[in-house]
Chain A
Amino acid sequence: MPKDHGIGASTKRREDVRFLTGKGRYTDDININGQAYAWFVRSDVAHGTLNGVDTADAAAMPGVLRIFTGADFEAVGGIPCGWQVTDRKGEVMLEPRHPVLAHGKVRHVGDPIAVVVAETLEQARDAAEAVVPDITELEPVLDMKAAVQGGPLVHDEIGSNLCYDWGFVEENKEAVDAAIKGAHHVTTLELVNNRLIANPMEPRVAVGDYAQHDDSSTLYTTSQNPHVIRLLMGAFVLGIPEHKLRVVAPDVGGGFGTKIFHYAEEAFVTFAAKELKRAVKWTATRSEAFISDAHGRDHVTKIELALDADGHFLALRTDTYANMGAYLSTFAPSVPTWLHGTLMAGNYKTPLIYVNVKAVFTNTVPVDAYRGAGRPEATFQLERVIDKAAREMGVDPIELRRKNFITEFPYATPVAVEYDTGDYHATMDKLLEIADVAGFDARLAKSKANGKLRGLGMNCYIEACGIAPSNLVGQLGARAGLYESATVRVNATGGLVVMTGSHSHGQGHETSFPQVIAEMIGIDENMVEIVHGDTANTPMGMGTYGSRSLAVGGSAMVRATEKIIAKAKKIAAHILEASDADIELKDGSFTVAGTDKSLAWGDVCLAAYVPHNYPLADLEPGLEETAFYDPANFTYPSGAYACEVEVDPETGKVTIERFAAADDFGNIVNPMIVDGQVHGGIAQGIGQALMEGASYDEAGQLVSGSYMDYTMPRADDLPFYTVDHSCQTPCTHNPLGVKGCGEAGAIGSPPSVVNAVVDALQRAGHTNVTHIDMPLSPARVWAAMQG
């Protein structure tokens, strides 16, 4: 019998009631009395010298309050980068200045040049059309290899477009080179991990407010981590101390990584509100989102896998060019390095690995973390090269993987991480069962009879989630700690409020977090309320990304609740005249072990706030505790995915016929929410594999700048998924034994889709097709079949 409450129950998401009935309170729903409206004037060229901005005509237009340009921001800081990577030679990365508004130069289409603030949105927009930037166009640099081979400089002052040249593990390089040189077989694959645009349903919005009575600023923003924004913007950009700055991220309509980062628009509205002494609101249009939200992925990679005659992996070498875009977004440098290179071992016992990454500036929108962030890029190249190796060596791709599986844990990889637990054979066995691999041949015959090609692709994945041990990431260049926090407040009548540093923008925390507390105390989930997203009423937290909320934020909540329970037991012991060591808490009731003496949860809570019969000499009144939790290690979710496709040989159109995912997320709090996270992740992975791709033309214009040309996956593009998370090896180092499930689908699905399409083409006799770059659009697949 599935549980109907607490940990393991598929409790329906309580937040969906307001989301689905239009009662959510998003940033754009926030309107402050007297607010003005901002409209950004953005560069329509990819690269140019900004000689000046003529605002005279615009300033005289109706309703205009003020027009800001880069000159207004010379006295404040630039947008900071949150991670400093050290290169192969021990030197720190090149870190160009990132002004709030462009000054001297424009560096990508969409680079903000000026902002009109006016009484109404239409007035601001009208006046923005009269702002005349004086730009001398420069040749843009778009191709990464050209950029590091003497192409035009994106940032003249740093003298190079190469942000860093990272080697990992540098000491292994010679041994890896030697192993590849002497190997029985080497499989080489060159591929592109396509640039993506996150496209959350809710575009970014920022509302700045300023209170003259106490000289304090408030920013309402579409963020996954309001405390991080408060720290970055307050300390590094505007110089506002945290006690004078409140950042609120209310209901947020999807983030997928692109709402982690601190953006110029946030700093602008906060700055402008103080200058103008009135609130300033900016709401991105969808077109603006395409050219101002940080993009994702965009790697160009060559990977080489060396094997012995028996198919054992001997060594792996990868060379990647990673696009940073025109500026360093908040966590951009960490994505192709520490979130990518450390995952190159995958699920396999490859003894020698060397990863080289060249991060490159180009005249494009900045690139940063997008669902999976670095781990999809690692998984894609590894699982593609293994499939190619299996084909070249004439062995079964599943058996080749099994032969190289890591089977003993903990396992220290040659790329600096230690997997605490996992069972890769178990997820593979489960996958073969739920994907009905045995029935593939019959389905293939049916497809053939209908004139269609059919292919089966599968892959494994591992990811590092639960980001992350602060002391470790500090050594790796993070300019932040990555703990999480929770304050648990028990009210006098027994209800609880959890103020968490995690942020929910679709993950269902308001439902799943109470399930944990309800389980711990033995009370109804509805007695627990989750508060998040406001720096004024939550403890300093690092927010939600990297599948970290339950593993890190949930652990902080557990620790705080443990403190609550320990204190409540002391109160109960006093009232029941017993030793607190003898008090047991079960089903919301405190009992003295071995007796029938008991006290209800609510009676103890009331006693804490009405301490008439209370051990005041030894114990403070009240029942409220805070915990900060810093994880001991990453968590390592893993799994095996299978995709079956049909390909129309006449048009190249790929349809996903079946998709199965067997994941090991450790313990599960809410299976329904986990299913949903996996479904969404797979949809995005299929989107990347078949449809999505940001495309620039030679002039640096974003060709795929709207939904007319950027293909988002739609419901009818996707199959019914078969997902399973019954294989559970609990995380060994967090109190819930959970690993995280938010990114798995997006990490695990692209390789199986591409493997399946290549398999279909190979089976149809297109033996020269060993790879097709994503997205596998009909035109690309058709072209591949033409030889």
Chain B
Amino acid sequence: MTLRGGPGWAKSGAMSHHVLDLAGQTLHARADGSLFWPDQGLLCVSDLHLGKSERIARRGGGLFPPYETQETLARLDRAISENDPSCVICLGDSFDDLDAASGLAEDARLHLSRLQAGRDWIWIEGNHDPGPIDLGGTHLSELAIGELAFRHVATPAVPEISGHYHPKARVSGMVSARPCFLADKTRLILPAFGAYTGGLRVTDPVLATMMQADAIAVLTGQRALPVPMAALGTGRR
């Protein structure tokens, strides 16, 4: 069991971030799980999974607290106000399914519109939300800015920024695993930004084989903490 520090702690100043170099570009992996590209004024988040609780209820899977959309948008709001990006990319699985997108509650729609106002907004398609969404912004299956490609699921083509896997990791002394970025010199995988998202341990072979040996994980949480992926140990050989 661990205890976070006193109340003053969480609200201290600007959010910490870890600086990454991807194909010569400087990127900030922030402690809240968002990615900021200062030279482009671009903020990127992945796997929001808005509307998840409603989708689960619709499928007879239980009636979970219906606040995750509100919470995820609040976090996104904070990331946007801290960085004032001119462009925001949502890197896929922004909605738990297309019905969730069309069924978004009124106040969530309004909040989204406010966030979109005055900036470019790009929805990248994911496997959960593979079609166009009627919520403002531009819909693309992938986007390239200079050398960097933004897509939902990683491919062999690098340099690339993707999401989909919801990576998470734990360092000794931590109570439970935290969502994390995975980064090597040519590939970056974003953590899931949404409130109701589970995760895949970085020690899972799917992730381990995708990244190079010198890859690092950047843990989210109070601070962005980089750790060599190799130091996280493996549950398998």
Do A and B assemble together? no
Query: A residues near B, CB below 8 A?
Result: none
Query: B residues near A, CB below 8 A?
Result: none
